[in-house]
Chains A and B, each alone.
Chain A
Amino acid sequence: FAVISCQDKGDPNYQYMPDMYESVGYETYGEYDVFENGQEAKLPVEGTVARGWMPYEYQNNTMDAQEAKVKLTNPMLYTEDNYNNGKQLYTIYCAVCHGDKGDGKGILVEREKILGVPSYDDAGRAITEGSVYHVMYYGLNNMGSYASQTTIEERWQIAHYVMSLKDKLEGKPE
């Protein structure tokens, strides 16, 4: 029918009386002239706090990173649910570089797309729960921030799983 219908794959098909096809309200990701830059998505005012969310109090600098590494601890309980969730999220967001075992041999490293991913048992880095969370929040050097893709709880669940991977790599019992 493609031949008869005069429909071109580069353009959307024609419609018959599209009464309520186009949205009257503003749609997510939409482009509208009323907004600056045309973007429907606007940034919230700085310093505001939404319900169910708390700002992260450490800053993105070397000193605060050290402090977070020592002082910050995981508020989530070490339950099976948290562990499994952490594992799932780890497989989505982290394993692609850090590898399923956390030894820095993810598929991107194996294919030599991204290099220099250390293993979690790297002695010079000596990661802790706090430092894992801090790095996930801000990123470090070549690693980007994952704060936009995960929530506070999800990041702590991932931190759980990362620490368990580190223990496994170091041969410690759980």
Chain B
Amino acid sequence: MKKVNFRHSTSRQLLLSVAFLFSFTLFSFSQEGAAQDAPAQEQASAQSDDAGGAELGDPAAGKELFNSLCAACHKPYSESIGPALNGVTDRHDKEWIQTWISNSAAMVASGDPEAVEVYEEYNQTAMPAFPQLTESDVDNILAYVEQPKPEPQAAVAGAGGEAGGSGASGGVSVNVILGILVFVLAILLVVLFLVNKTLRNFASASGIALPEKPKRKPIWQSFVENQFLMVVSAVVVLLTVGYFAYGWMMQVGVDKGYQPIQPIHYSHRIHAGDNEIECKYCHSSARTSKHSGIPSLNVCMNCHKSISEVAPETATEEYSKEFYDKEIAKLYDAAGWDPATRTFSGDQKPVKWVRIHNLPDFAYFNHSQHVSVAGIQCQKCHGPIEEMEIVYQNAPLTMGWCINCHRETNIKIEGNEYYEKIHEELSKKYGVEELTAAQMGGLECGKCHY
């Protein structure tokens, strides 16, 4: 008996001491992590403050004017439709700039040599007149564009990276803690095993016989001998097999969750979710046609003429900014657009998108009558598209799914002359105010299968 007591106390002591040791190291580690955070943040905020000095006017007011009036054709530091504006005060004198902005076309027409030169250099694209800009407005804009190009790429990214790194170290430390815990447990197991083994050795050495368990009848044998249990388990097995066999057969030909890899990583999350672009902007034929078509590349280029790279804050942990920029480059390649010269080469390669939602050829589905006439939300059938980074099929698109919705959905009668008379007669026939698609004949074979 005494020996048993002794065994308990040793193992407990060991456990306590090991746990104490590791908890101590843990504390010191987490403190280090917190200390690293603070200076990195300070550095980052200091970086953003000291950008630009102004002699000409107020760069903040100039930024607003520039963004609303000039940025369509000009960028401060790179060429766009018009020339880069940084350094323009070195190239031309201020009065010239003022007259040019208020009416450039008149200046070209009058034959001002500087003006004609600029006009010819930029493909004879006429700059619109801005008579509403006063001298101080122009000064503000000039102040904004003459700010030296900030160098965020290297410096701020470094600071950001550091801040991100220390932030991530919070995540890492959780992993480390878990790892240490696992390690401690493993050590404890080994220690207990060793203690047990030595004690058994002690026992046999000091001649104490350890009690042995008596042999019992094997459990499967007693199970087979019990007829009631056998019948019950046979029924259970049959039911389970039936359940899974039926379930397996019911999913043949159902593509719910189908998520192929597309040739260009197009993110609905960014376009429809973050930027709140209306669904029908790109899928415009959903309004008028049976097919809600995949937008052609001209729709992509409507916006991506001026958006050639994603914002750094768009990037996620999974997909970096470089990854997204490369995908936009793929779009330019397909459309034959050269972002450097801002011209189309005419060498187009259609993008081979993979179609996800497929109905067999013998079913007729028309988008426009569901979208425009019935006013069904896109999300009802296609799921939370605006949250999908990569699109998957949300609904099963089986016949039962279609019919179920036709039974539950009321027809949109208001504002539709076509339904006036039908509604009056049918609602009398069925004795109801609201008519579902099923009552209008939306379950007849010929409606969808001809």
Contact = CB atoms under 8 A, between A and B. Distances in A.
A10 B260 contact: yes
A9 to B, nearest CB: 5
Nearest to B449: A20
Interface in A1-32: 1-2, 4-5, 7, 9-16, 18, 20-24, 27-29, 31
A12 B281 contact: no
A136 to B, nearest CB: 11
B35 interface: no
Given A21-B360, A108-B275, A115-B72, A124 B298 contact: no
Given A18-B360, A92-B281, A148 B132 contact: no
A110 to B, nearest CB: 10
Given A9-B392, A21-B361, A37-B350, A29 B307 contact: no
A114 to B, nearest CB: 5
Contacts of A5: 248, 251-252
Contacts of B79: none
B277 interface: yes
Interface stretch (B222-230, B289-297, B404-412): B289-297
A114 B306 contact: yes
Contacts of A111: 274-275
Interface in B308-326: 311
A104 interface: yes
B350 A13 contact: no
Contact of A149 (B128, B284, B361): B284
A145 B253 CA distance: 41
A79 B209 CA distance: 105
A90 to B, nearest CB: 11
Given A20-B361, A23-B361, A118-B69, A141 B125 contact: yes
Interface in A116-173: 116-119, 122-125, 139, 141-146, 148-151
A15 B253 contact: yes
Nearest to B392: A9
Contacts of A9: 257-259, 392
A119 B68 contact: yes
A124 B360 contact: no
Give the interface centre of A12, A15, A24, A150 by most chain B CB atoms within 10 Å: A12
B201 interface: no
Nearest to A147: B298
A96 B306 CA distance: 14
B72 A124 contact: no
Interface string A28-43: 1101000001110000
A72 interface: no
Interface residues of A, number: 60
A52 B247 CA distance: 52
A92 B280 contact: yes
Contacts of A92: 278, 280-281, 284
A15 B361 CA distance: 14
A91 interface: yes
Given A12-B358, A116-B68, A107 B276 contact: yes
A48 interface: no
A147 B284 CA distance: 11
A144 B301 contact: yes
Interface string B232-270: 000000000000100110011111011111000000000
B302 interface: yes
B68 A114 contact: no
Contacts of A108: 275, 303
Contacts of B418: none
A11 B299 CA distance: 28
B284 A113 contact: no
B71 interface: yes
B440 interface: no
B258 to A, nearest CB: 6
A23 to B, nearest CB: 4
Given A117-B68, A117-B72, A20 B360 contact: yes
B421 interface: no
B444 to A, nearest CB: 19
Nearest to B290: A28
Nearest to B300: A144
Contacts of B80: 142
Interface in B52-91: 67-74, 80-81
B252 A104 contact: no
30 contacts: A1-B247, A9-B392, A12-B255, A13-B252, A14-B253, A18-B253, A18-B360, A20-B360, A22-B361, A28-B293, A29-B291, A29-B294, A29-B355, A92-B280, A96-B275, A96-B277, A107-B275, A108-B303, A113-B275, A114-B307, A115-B71, A117-B68, A118-B72, A122-B132, A124-B130, A142-B81, A143-B72, A148-B284, A148-B296, A148-B299
Given A16-B252, A116-B67, A141-B125, 12 more contacts: A2-B257, A4-B247, A13-B255, A15-B253, A21-B360, A23-B361, A29-B293, A93-B284, A108-B275, A118-B72, A125-B128, A151-B288
Interface of A: 1-2, 4-5, 7, 9-16, 18, 20-24, 27-29, 31, 37-39, 62, 91-93, 95-96, 104, 107-109, 111-119, 122-125, 139, 141-146, 148-151
